[in-house]
Amino acid sequence: KRLEQLSGHPAQGAEHPPDSARPVRQSQFGPSPGRPSALRTLLALLLQNPRLVEHIDPIAARHLARLGPQGPLIGTVIEYLNEHPHIQCGGLLEGFRNRPEAEVIGRLMAWNTQVTDDRIVATFLDHLRYLTEERVREERLDCLIEKARREKLSTDELLELKQLTVHQEGSQ
């Protein structure tokens, strides 16, 4: 009412309390969980810039293909891009048109990664390094710790455990 007096205009929609307001329309892709995963960003950048596949060696490709539920999709995309080295985004989308992955690929190709053009390669490489090197180290560290709980580690394993622990402490 005070606002009505100050503005000289009647309040519109004031007859309904705030909790009866129309619900906010959700994105058709569901709620945004906050910061996107490194794998999602890597895959989106790869789909939007197919030449980035040149930075993925076969070992990294195999590792990425085993990561979580999205692993098989990124493995399929990497394989397709390696088979079609000069493909552009439109051709990539067309190549997956009649496949089950088409919808997800289309969404990721259209998704704004918030990465500026001058940072695409560096961001891609950072995510690739994180998803391959760091995860491999973390997995190996976990494996050695678990083995140490069950049995005595060899001298080489103890040295490796020490190096991995120092590296992990240095990266935090």
Per-residue pLDDT tens digits for 41-85: 999 999 999 999 999 998 889 889 988 888 999 999 999 999 999
Residues 11-46 have pLDDT tens digits of: 655 554 444 443 433 333 333 456 788 999 999 999
Instruction: Give 65's contacts (C-beta < 8 A, 6+ positions apart).
Output: 71, 72, 74, 75, 78
Instruction: Give 82's contacts (C-beta < 8 A, 6+ positions apart).
Output: 53
User: 36, exposed or middle or buried, with CB in 10 Å at 0-12, 13-18, 19+?
Assistant: middle
Cα of 15 vs its chain's centroid, Å: 45
pTM of the model: 0.65
Q: How far apart are CA 78 and CA 72, in angstroms?
A: 10
